């Protein structure tokens, strides 16, 4: 089969798939992706503004060793919310780890039961259009309040406003390390 013919067949298959999806949407058979209710209702003060939801995100993961308020944490995310960490292996290979909010609760929760962890925002750049906001939130992680940070990095946070409240859609982060310093524009002035 010639390359041109193969390309046309693939293009036709993609177009047919898109048309079928459009048809399913118009007949109501397409899966709706407009969920907006988590299992736990958020405190209105936590989700009334970009400032308040960011403060709540950092507050829910910070504290002395012990349980965190995971229901509060869950209430900040859309049901399909994701958290993604950039990972660098000892051999230098760069990968990522993607998880749901519930995966984060399970993995980080086990660590936080035994260890103090305080993360705070030290700088922020926000862009907003319509019902969405993108925030580059530079963070510092500490073992104790007021201690020197053991790590800094940037959380890339996507937020959605449904007209009633703000929701966290995703948090994607990378840490500062040799060869990957935080750019000056994302640090406090």
Q: Are 68 and 60 in contact (CB under 8 A)?
A: yes
Q: For residue 39, what pLDDT band results from cuts at 50, 70 and 90?
A: low
Both tokens of residue 35? Answer: 């969920």
Domains of the chain, residue spans: 1-30, 44-186
Strands 166-175 and 77-88, how do they pair?
parallel
Is 3.10.450.50 the CATH number for 44-186? yes
| Residue at token pair 């990957």 | 180
Q: pTM for the full model?
A: 0.79
Stated as kind and residue range, the H or E segment containing 72 is: helix 70-75
Average predicted confidence (pLDDT) for the chain: 85
| DSSP annotation of 35 | -
pLDDT tens digits for range 109-153? 999 999 999 999 999 999 999 999 999 999 999 999 999 999 999
pLDDT tens digits for range 2-11? 443 443 433 3
pLDDT tens digits for range 54-71? 999 999 999 999 999 999
Give the whole-angstrom CA distance, residue 77 versus residue 158.
10
């Amino acid at each position: 089969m010639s390359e041109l013919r193969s390309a046309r067949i693939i293009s036709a298959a993609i177009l047919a798939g898109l048309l079928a999806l459009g048809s399913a949407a118009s007949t109501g058979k397409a899966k709706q992706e407009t969920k907006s209710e988590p299992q736990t209702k958020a405190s209105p003060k936590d989700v009334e503004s970009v400032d308040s939801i960011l403060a709540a995100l950092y507050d829910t993961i910070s504290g002395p060793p012990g349980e965190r308020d995971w229901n509060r944490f869950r209430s900040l995310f859309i049901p399909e919310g994701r958290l993604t960490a950039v990972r660098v292996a000892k051999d230098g290979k760069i990968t990522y780890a993607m998880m749901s909010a519930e995966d984060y609760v399970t993995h980080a929760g086990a660590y936080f039961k035994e260890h103090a962890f305080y993360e705070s925002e030290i700088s922020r750049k926000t862009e907003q259009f319509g019902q969405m906001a993108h925030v580059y939130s530079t963070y510092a992680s500490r073992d104790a309040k007021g201690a020197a940070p053991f790590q800094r990095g940037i959380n890339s946070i996507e937020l959605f406003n449904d007209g009633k409240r703000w929701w966290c859609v995703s948090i994607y982060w990378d840490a500062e390390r040799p060869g990957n310093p935080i750019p000056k524009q994302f640090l406090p002035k």
